[in-house]
Amino acid sequence: MSKQFQARRLDVAAFAQAQAGLEGRDEVDGYPRVLQELHAPRADLAIGWRARGEERRAIDGSLRPALHLQVKAALPLTCQRCLGELTAPIDIDRHFIFVPDEDAAAALDDASDDDVLVLAPDFDLHALLEDELLMALPLVPRHEACPESVTLSAQDADFDAAIEERRKPFAALSALRKPDAG
């Protein structure tokens, strides 16, 4: 009988040993931190993901439980140039190696090409998905060329009037001048 694995409470060691796989297509509202970053959340937005358990050789030569994670999505973000909607394609393909404790993680993390995480009996794959989605978002989303031209202006209606007043600060004094008696 094969073991059933759940993304919210994943036994990574057993998942890797069984070389099992999980995949899903989740609605974006299941990821509240990602939802906050979107231009306009829609009901049709979905995040497709696939996780595969495997055993990989770590940089120290030991065989470790590992997870291969793939995520695909197209998320509507706010263009920081025109403030319009921008669809950002997200394509994540990452490997994670699991170690028994923080000390082992610290020792392997700098030298390893794979991300190193601490093994937990009830690993939350869903939380890892959300973290990876957030890190994959562009820091400053913007169109290559905005669909509408953007007028860049830092003045309001009273701006020109204020400049005019500043140009003639002594205009009122001209009425006090005596006419030349010449």
Q: What is the pLDDT of residue 114?
A: 82
Is the residue at 97 inside a domain? yes
Residue 159 lies inside a defined structural domain of this protein = no
Model confidence at 124: pLDDT above 60:
yes
Whether 67 maps to a domain, the answer reads: yes
DSSP state of 123: B
pLDDT bucket at 1, cuts 50 / 70 / 90? very low
Q: Which domain holds residue 121?
A: 12-136
Model pLDDT for residues 125-172, shown as the tens digit of each residue: 999 999 999 999 999 999 988 888 767 666 666 766 666 656 666 777
Mean pLDDT calculated for residue range 97-121: 84
Q: Does residue 26 form part of some domain?
A: yes
Count of the separate structural domains present in the chain: 1
- Residue 1 inside a domain? The answer is no
Q: What is the pLDDT of residue 164?
A: 62
Q: Which of 84, 82, 64 is nearest to 13 (CA)?
A: 64
Residue 167 maps to a domain: no
Q: What is the pTM for the complete model shown?
A: 0.76
120 within a domain of the structure (yes/no): yes
Asked if residue 24 is part of any domain, the answer here is yes
Cα 54 to chain center, whole Å?
27
